[in-house]
Amino acid sequence: MMSNREAMLEKLAVLDTEYAKALAGGGEKYVARHHQRGKLLARERIELLIDPDSAFLELSPLAGWGSDFTVGASLVTGIGVVEGVECLITANDPTVKGGASNPWTLRKALRSDEIARANRLPVISLVESGGADLPTQKEIFIPGGAMFRNLTRLSAEGIPTIALVFGNSTAGGAYIPGMSDYVVMVDGGAKVFLAGPPLVKMATGEDADDESLGGAAMHARKSGLADYFAVDEQDAIRLGRQIVSRLNWRKAGPAPASAYAEPRYDADELLDIVPGDLKVPFDPRDVIERVVDGSVFDEFKPLYGSSLATGWASVHGYPVGILANARGVLFSEESQKAAQFIQLANRSNTPLIFLHNTTGYMVGQEYEQGGIIKHGAQMINAVANSKVPHVSILMGASYGAGHYGMCGRAFDPRFLFAWPSAKSAVMGPQQLAGVLSIVARAAASAKGMPYDEDGDAKMRAYVEGQIEAESLPTFLSGRLYDDGVIDPRDTRTVLGICLSAIHSAPVEGTSSFGVFRM
Amino acid sequence: MISSVLVANRGEIARRVFRTARSLGLSTVAVYSTADAAAPFVDEADAAVHLPGNAPGETYLRAEPIVEAALRAGADAVHPGYGFLSENAAFAQAVLDAGLTWVGPPVDAISSMGSKIESKKLMAAAGVPVLAELTPAEVSAADLPVLVKASAGGGGRGMRVVSRLEDLAGEIEAASAEALSAFGDGTVFCERYLAAGRHIEVQIMADQHGTIWAVGERECSIQRRHQKVVEEAPSPLVERIPAMRPLLFDAARKAAAAINYVGAGTVEFLADESGEFYFLEMNTRLQVEHPVTEETTGLDLVELQFAVAAGDRLPPEPPPTVGHAIEVRLYAEDPQHDWQPQTGVLHRFEVDSSVRVDSGVADGSVVSPYYDAMLAKVIAYGTDRSTVARRLAGVLDRAAIHGVRTNRELLAWVLRHPAFLAGETDTAFFDTHGVGEPADERAVRLAALAAALADAAGRRTGLPSGWRNLASQPQRKSYRVGETTYDVEYRLTRDGLVVDGDIRLLASSPTRVVLEVDGVRRVFEVAAYDGLVCVGPISLTPVPRFVDPATRVAAGSLVAPMPGTVIRVGVAVGEVVKQGQPLLWVEAMKMEHVIAAPADGVVGALHVEAGQQVEVGAVLAVVGEDV
């Protein structure tokens, strides 16, 4: 029997292999070719752009996992600090099919727009993309317009947008610089036009070259699309930093406490907490103590609805309310406790952190009759209408309506991360297979037919396998159902970065909720 | 009776004289140039008078305003220090004419020693051994090498070694010009040049009543460009040949007596390894290296200067010499680059107080191009020469000297050199042994890493430094030392520092980094300034991550090595030049610097003209490829 730590380390090793695929981009050959052209890789550009020794949180790194496209979806997105300003940075990875956008690229880009907008993060786009992946254009073309819409809407909301154009940014892609507040183009690299030489020739018969149609010099001197002319990539990044330094950017949310204590317990022990088998419960307070400032967690209603721990703490100086599943199941008491706690956090303008390990709301006659739906609805009402920022961390199970009540993806948490140990689905694989088996058995018996026990066993094994695979964090992360899978030991750092980003926008609760069914 | 003294000098020696003056209850008056307005010696004086301008000719070499300053500030005595007007008879006379006390020798004594040519004749007549003087016109190949010297000179200025007859005329001209600009007198003479002699000198102290002390000898053989850098008492040569001492002292006393000397003076001799010695010159003033005599005799020579100036009598015999003292002169200069003087802000200057430090600077002092680049003298005293040398070397190692390159490493290297420790200290020391190596590659690499990690510590927020959830690139920082750029790549991870080599990070703060290198714990003190980071004794220039293309310098550009004045431009735009051909001349720090063509090519641009002031790094000319 593997220890909790061994099980977690094994999952982390698997995760590392997947991350390595994202980091490898288009592979050695294309990386070498890109370097030979004197160009920097997407992540090299980002490293140069952000402040020395600052942290960078890459978002959705597994986008496209399980699809036909390269893990990472030919785009790097993340939160980094530029000239002291937290920005949402995106960078096309030109080593992956020339940086072409596939459907997962689009979803990843739209998710990063959402994060920028909700948290009021200035956006810096490091552009070098061959445009849409044509074979999958049907998935991209129509919804893809949102990328351009979002940029100008961000601008309308006073969120600065900056495009540094390193390479191709043609056709639709030309609107990335087109819709940005500030545009820098790299001499000899940037190519920004609606139509390239062949298409122009076809359309009008005109002979034109890349440079006269969309070069940096032309755009800086003639069209005015480029505000800054960069002599090379480094210069473009220098100019990008200079632009940010002149934004006079002020974060709108309250500042964190100037002094706070580190947790008293070692983050390394977070590897020991989650059992390899999620049927075995664990105490989320063990997690909280290793994540929050000074390991101080002031519990609210500790004696009531004890399957859900609620309480106040702070992380990197930012006050937070925490809701953490303690024994998997949510009963009426837990639901009502959560609804009350969420309202309190809205009164005190305190962000909320949801630590998931739930199998869902309790079922059975007693609970249905006791109003579990009503009470669950109260919790979901509170979560859905709460206006303070939410961050969800999937530590273990996140099944059924429990996923909703704990602020699952559909409930727009500002950020949602999963540990490698997490699983999320409508229900557990065995339960789901079992339900299908019971239904099939009942159908056979209604028809008076003998039940195929062998077939049933095969069906159950198949379904279990499929649901298991589809509840794993890499799979869900690949579909952009979270913002990334993180090492449990990084939880405090990730929360710190997210809370700091969150406080770029005002943090205000509400007293306006849906009608609470009593 | 003296109650207030003006020191007609600057820097270290002004402070030195003030210290004794204060202990004697005298009030102190400084004079200062514009560039020295914020210098420590000005601040320490009870009163100070501004001498407008910077060049010595406008300031510290002008007798009239200095005498006027003394009168205006109520000083009743003038101490000239060394250099500047200290051996200027006219100045001494002007001081006396103003009714002030001259803390120095009689005017006649100054005049008779002021001309090196005349003084040698005088000394020969008095029975002091001298080296024959050569008439420039009669120098023959047999006399080579010869030394061209400014008659009024000192401190190596206006001095040239000539080893080829065809160079003689040019060097005499150059020496004469330099002498004229430095001392106001262009007279030069030649003598045989002893390439590897010993520089031995005797400290004289004489009162107005006929007592003349030979207080002890000093050896100052270790020189660069004829300027002393390491001085000690007693002399290792004399210690080896003790019979020399009475002869030396006798010659020195004779020299002083011949000119009715009063006050502190120094008779300099050139000696060979067999103990033969020749009179070089007599300095009619306090010497830069006087502290080693003070340390070994317990005397305060400045106090004695005041005493004899006031007419006091000296005891019949000087105190005996006990123990060994070594002084090193810390210069703002680059020994590896032809001793090029350095200028700039001295952010920090801290030398262990277990030794004597006579300094002219403090934290934040600006080393200007106008004066001698000596920052301080560091003097150690003890019973045993090699222990003193080692201790002084250790003090130099640990000194915090930030902002300006100095000869500190070179001095420590000399003090530890086997030849030095063996007492083999002739004037050709650097020619024989070189000037040491710059800090070794590995030490600089570690220093660069420490600088990078201290920088990271300074940028630390509550988040782990340089945290990544997907680590793709290391942190990259670059530092420059001289011409070499050192790239540092590192990552700080959950498991500690990831870097090339067996190095662990034990602790870091913006000012201190503790590394375990190959299993050995090492502490690095780090101080960062604008455009400079000092790690222990190693100074690094952080290379900016980005260069504004507008500030990039075109290839083939020749830049000013230091702030100065363009004195001559020898080429025109479009002219074809050969590698090494002089293009223009810049005068800085009282030296002429030739800017030569780096390669064969064509002068593409000339950005300066004669008489123009240039800042360090200013592009002077561009030499393009031959087309």
Give B41-85 pLDDT, tens digit per residue. Answer: 999 999 999 999 999 999 999 999 999 999 999 999 999 999 999
| Residue that terminates a domain, selected from B57, B81, B103 | B103
DSSP A485: B
- Check pLDDT > 90 for residue A173: no
**Average pLDDT in the B181-207 region?**
85
Q: How many helices, marked H, and strands, marked E, lie in chain B?
A: 16, 39
Structure confidence at residue B240 as a pLDDT band (50, 70, 90): very high
Structure confidence at residue B612 as a pLDDT band (50, 70, 90): confident
Of A48, A235, A493, nearest to B464 by CB-CB distance is: A493
**With an 8 Å Cβ cutoff, are B476 and A47 in contact?**
yes
- Check pLDDT > 90 for residue B38: yes
Q: Which CATH number characterizes residue B504's domain?
A: 3.30.700
Q: How far is A17 from chain B (nearest CA, A)?
A: 11
Nearest to B220 by CA among B246, B243, B201, B240: B201
3-state class (DSSP) for residue A141:
helix
Q: What backbone phi and psi angles, to 5 degrees, belong to B449?
A: -65, -45
What residues of A are in contact with residue B492 (Cβ under 8 Å)?
A: 53
Please tell me which residue of chain A has the smallest CA distance to B491.
A53
Which candidate in B472, B493, B498 is best for mutational testing of the A interface (most A CBs within 10 A)? Answer: B472
B513 and B598 housed in the same domain:
no
pLDDT (tens digit per residue) in B533-572: 999 989 999 999 998 887 776 667 787 777 788 888 888 8
d(CA B35, CA B50) in angstroms, rounded, equals 10
Give the residue carrying structure tokens 């060994």: B324
Q: Where are the alpha helices (DSSP H) in A193-232?
A: 197-204, 210-214, 216-218
Q: How far is A465 from chain B (nearest CA, A)?
A: 29
CB A324 within 8 A of CB A352: no
Say yes or no: B156 contacts chain A, CB-CB below 8 A. Answer: no
B399 and B317 housed in the same domain:
yes
Please tell me which residue of chain B has the smallest CA distance to A233.
B546
Q: What backbone phi and psi angles, to 5 degrees, belong to B322?
A: -125, 135
**With an 8 Å Cβ cutoff, are B463 and A43 in contact?**
no
What residues of B are in contact with residue A484 (Cβ under 8 Å)?
A: 469
**With an 8 Å Cβ cutoff, are B468 and A55 in contact?**
yes
Q: How far is A197 from chain B (nearest CA, A)?
A: 31
Q: How far is CA B356 from the centre of its chain?
A: 17
B249 and B374 housed in the same domain:
yes
pLDDT (tens digit per residue) in A203-253: 898 999 999 999 999 999 999 999 999 999 999 999 999 999 999 999 999
Question: How many Cβ atoms sit within 10 Å of the Cβ of residue A143?
Answer: 12
B419 and B464 housed in the same domain:
no
Please tell me which residue of chain B has the smallest CA distance to A487.
B469
d(CA A320, CA A253) in angstroms, rounded, equals 14
Strand ranges (DSSP E) for B272-405? Answer: 277-283, 324-331, 333-334, 340-341, 344-346, 348-350, 356-359, 365-367, 374-382, 400-402
| Residue that terminates a domain, selected from B103, B127, B148 | B103
From residue B454, how far is each of A53, A454, B89 by CA, in Å? Answer: 11, 68, 56
Check whether the bond before B80 is cis (ω within 30° of 0).
no
Structural domain boundaries, residue B462: 441-542
d(CA A99, CA A101) in angstroms, rounded, equals 6
CB A166 within 8 A of CB A237: no
B344 and B205 housed in the same domain:
yes
CB B98 within 8 A of CB B67: yes
Q: How far is B526 from chain A (nearest CA, A)?
A: 18
pLDDT (tens digit per residue) in A364-373: 999 999 999 9
Structure confidence at residue B590 as a pLDDT band (50, 70, 90): low
B246 and B337 housed in the same domain:
yes
Structure confidence at residue A9 as a pLDDT band (50, 70, 90): very high
What residues of B are in contact with residue A44 (Cβ under 8 Å)?
A: 472-473
Say yes or no: A260 contacts chain B, CB-CB below 8 A. Answer: yes
**With an 8 Å Cβ cutoff, are B455 and A497 in contact?**
no
**DSSP assignment of A296-338:** --EEESTTSSTTEEEEEEEETTEEEEEEEESSEEE-HHHHHHH
Least confident of A373-377, B27-31, B151-155: B151-155
pLDDT (tens digit per residue) in A285-335: 999 999 999 999 999 999 999 999 999 999 999 999 999 999 889 999 999
A–B CB contacts, 8 A cutoff, strictly below: 76
What residues of A are in contact with residue B493 (Cβ under 8 Å)?
A: none
Q: Which CATH number characterizes residue B599's domain?
A: 2.40.50.100
Number of structural domains (chain B) is 5
> According to the model, what pLDDT value does residue A227 have?
97
B488 and B460 housed in the same domain:
yes
Exposed/middle/buried for residue A287 (C-beta within 10 Å: 0-12, 13-18, 19+): buried
B10 and B120 housed in the same domain:
no
Structure confidence at residue B195 as a pLDDT band (50, 70, 90): low
B302 and B402 housed in the same domain:
yes
B402 and B332 housed in the same domain:
yes
**DSSP assignment of B342-378:** --EEE-EEE--TTSEEEES--TTEEE-TTS--EEEEE
**With an 8 Å Cβ cutoff, are A235 and B546 in contact?**
yes
**Average pLDDT in the B4-31 region?**
97
- Check pLDDT > 80 for residue A1: no
> According to the model, what pLDDT value does residue B584 have?
86
Of A19, A55, A235, nearest to B464 by CB-CB distance is: A55
From residue A190, how far is each of A42, A222, A232, B90, B610 by CA, in Å? Answer: 15, 15, 10, 74, 46
> According to the model, what pLDDT value does residue B66 have?
97
**Average pLDDT in the A391-409 region?**
96
Q: How far is A209 from chain B (nearest CA, A)?
A: 27
pLDDT (tens digit per residue) in B270-325: 998 889 899 988 999 999 999 999 999 999 999 999 999 999 999 999 999 999 99
Per the domain annotation, does B500 fall within a domain? yes
**With an 8 Å Cβ cutoff, are A43 and B475 in contact?**
no
**Average pLDDT in the B621-626 region?**
75
Antiparallel, parallel or unpaired: β A75-82 and A85-92: antiparallel
Nearest to B452 by CA among B500, B486, B495, B482: B486
Which residues of chain B from 431 to 470 reach within 8 Å of chain A, CB to CB? 455-456, 459-470
Please tell me which residue of chain A has the smallest CA distance to B478.
A52
> According to the model, what pLDDT value does residue B182 have?
74
Per the domain annotation, does B143 fall within a domain? yes
d(CA A152, CA A155) in angstroms, rounded, equals 5
B270 and B380 housed in the same domain:
yes
pLDDT (tens digit per residue) in B344-357: 999 999 999 999 99
d(CA A41, CA A58) in angstroms, rounded, equals 15
> According to the model, what pLDDT value does residue B77 have?
96
Q: Which two tokens stand for residue B242?
A: 């003790």
d(CA B103, CA B285) in angstroms, rounded, equals 9
Q: Which two tokens stand for residue A515?
A: 């009608």
DSSP B166: G
From residue B175, how far is each of B163, B327, B567 by CA, in Å? Answer: 15, 29, 16
d(CA B625, CA B602) in angstroms, rounded, equals 6
Which candidate in A53, A229, A474 is best for mutational testing of the B interface (most B CBs within 10 A)? Answer: A53
| Residue that terminates a domain, selected from B103, B122, B146 | B103
3-state class (DSSP) for residue A162:
strand
- Check pLDDT > 70 for residue B418: yes
d(CA B201, CA B277) in angstroms, rounded, equals 10
> According to the model, what pLDDT value does residue B627 have?
46
Give the residue carrying structure tokens 């000093």: B218
**Average pLDDT in the B246-271 region?**
95
Q: What backbone phi and psi angles, to 5 degrees, belong to B380?
A: -115, 145
Mean pLDDT of chain B: 91
What residues of A are in contact with residue B547 (Cβ under 8 Å)?
A: 234, 238
Q: How far is B328 from chain A (nearest CA, A)?
A: 41
3-state class (DSSP) for residue A126:
strand
Q: How far is B473 from chain A (nearest CA, A)?
A: 7
pLDDT (tens digit per residue) in B213-237: 999 999 999 998 888 999 999 999 9
d(CA B515, CA B445) in angstroms, rounded, equals 13
Say yes or no: A487 contacts chain B, CB-CB below 8 A. Answer: yes
Structure confidence at residue A126 as a pLDDT band (50, 70, 90): very high
Q: Which amino acid is it at A408?
A: G
> According to the model, what pLDDT value does residue B153 have?
65
Of A52, A58, A260, nearest to B469 by CB-CB distance is: A58
Q: Which CATH number characterizes residue B303's domain?
A: 3.30.470.20
Question: How many Cβ atoms sit within 10 Å of the Cβ of residue B127?
Answer: 11
B42 and B81 housed in the same domain:
yes
**Average pLDDT in the A267-279 region?**
94
> According to the model, what pLDDT value does residue B467 have?
97
Torsion B146-B218-B276-B430 (CA) sign: negative
pLDDT (tens digit per residue) in B494-548: 999 999 999 999 999 999 999 999 999 999 999 999 999 999 989 999 999 998 8
Q: How far is A493 from chain B (nearest CA, A)?
A: 6
For chain A, how far is it from start to end, CA to CA, in angstroms? 47
Mean pLDDT of chain A: 95
Per the domain annotation, does B108 fall within a domain? no
Q: Which two tokens stand for residue B227?
A: 């300027």
**With an 8 Å Cβ cutoff, are B472 and A231 in contact?**
no
